[in-house]
Amino acid sequence: MSTPSTLGDVLYRDNAGSATPESDWAALIGSVAAGDQLALHGLYERTQRVVFTLILRLTSDRALAEALTLDVFAGLWRDAARYERAHGSVLAWIMNRARSTAMDHLRSSSYKATTGDAFRHQRRALKAALVALRPQERHAIEAAFFEARPYAELREEVVALRSGLHRLRQLLAAEANQAVTLASAGNRCKRAGLVCLYALHALPSRAVPAIEAHIASCAECEKELDALRPTIEWFVAWPTDVLRSPPWLQRRLAMRIAAEAGTQPALPAASQWREPDWQQVAPDISCQLLATDADAHTVGMLVRLAPGGHYPAHVHAGVEELHLLDGELRIDERKLYPGEYQRAEPGTADRLVWSGTGCTCVLITSGKDTLV
């Protein structure tokens, strides 16, 4: 086997065929421009995780990230005809729209996002608290909040879920030197577990009106919900790299688009997208290929660097765009934090790309970048 000379040789020479061709992405955009709601859902399924994660890293507010994610995809519905393939890949276009949507909101409001220092403090404190959870408690929280598990499965784990939430509440309050009352944890209402699922946005939409009506009439459940909300706000710093928007968000998108189009909501009967496998391409590097353009020699992918890992030094053959989703990343003299963006122009070089913490990013780059 010949010695690698380009980034493409290192990152995806052996599995380039596993990525969806850029022409498929462009065809979806074309169908959306023609009014195909199911094509919009196809784009949503491919990109909702990275869009939602990026917006959440920028805003540090889950409810706001959900609302802005909806805005991004509703904007795609209206503006799909404006996409020009000559100006970049579909993935790059969507990621840049997501960033612009979040930044426009932050600039136009008095809302202040969590600073990098505050986020890192949250991440360290939350990691320490999670060590004290029982494995089944952490598993139950992650299943409800991050994995979009079926409601029937979540109900089986509601006891561990509730105890884990209250244990985290105590640990995080202690870390912040705050007093915490345990009264809400003693709520004996039979629907207390459902209140926890509601707080985590894990209830199916059909069950939400009933639990909201119950909370309004049950002082103990209302008190428990209010007590848990500050803890759940910490989950923006949960040690996972790519988050998942709640399952009901896609249904809300369908209703919003149908209202704009004056039609009935259209949802795919089953998922149109299979998440690509992660491939370890070097000792410290794993990639999940999302799109490849053989004509433009570009690739869109998720890249993970292990703690202490280096990415190959290279000279850019084309424009490179990087959106950092998790961890910290040093590129030469610049240090990036979650939510930050790096753009490199053709002919420039990245000679030191290193992560002490480990990191995950969305990377749109040229496979023809030369190694140095």
Q: What is the DSSP string of 259-310?
A: HHHTS-----SS-S--PPPPEEEETTEEEEEEEEETTTTEEEEEEEE-TTEE
Question: Is the dihedral angle over the CA atoms 202, 248, 55, 244 positive or is it negative?
Answer: positive
Which tens digit of pLDDT belongs to each residue from 62-110?
888 999 999 999 999 999 999 998 889 999 999 999 999 999 998 876 6
At 204 the pLDDT is 81
Rounded-to-integer distance, Cα 24 and Cα 66, Å? 27
Residue 86 identity? A
- 360-370 burial: b if 16+ Cβ within 10 Å, else e: bbbbbbbbbbe
pLDDT digits (tens, 9 = 90+) for 267-303: 887 777 888 889 999 899 999 999 999 888 899 999 9
pTM: 0.81
Model confidence at 334, pLDDT cuts 50, 70, 90, reads very high
Q: What is the mean pLDDT of residues 104-133?
A: 77
* Mean pLDDT in residue range 310-315: 94
DSSP code of residue 3: P
Task: Report the DSSP pairing between strands 314-315 and 359-366.
Answer: unpaired
Q: What is the mean pLDDT of residues 330-335?
A: 96
Q: Which residue has the tokens 């003299």?
A: 333
Mean pLDDT confidence for 220-234:
90
Other Cβ atoms closer than 10 A to 190: 8
Identify the pLDDT of residue 201.
82
State mean pLDDT over 173-202.
79
Confidence of residue 325 (pLDDT cuts 50, 70, 90): very high
Determine what percent of the chain is predicted with pLDDT higher than 90.
59
Asked whether the predicted pLDDT for residue 305 surpasses 80, the reply is yes
d(CA 72, CA 284): 33
Give the residue from 311, 298, 316 showing the smallest Cα distance to 354.
311
Strands 285-293 and 20-21, how do they pair?
Answer: parallel
As a whole number of angstroms, the distance between CA 21 and CA 359 comes to: 26
Domains of the chain: 1-19+276-372 (2.60.120.10), 22-113+246-269 (1.10.1740.10), 116-237 (no CATH)
Q: Measure CA of the first residue to CA of the last residue in the chain; give whole Å.
A: 19
Q: Please tell me the predicted confidence (pLDDT) of residue 116.
A: 59
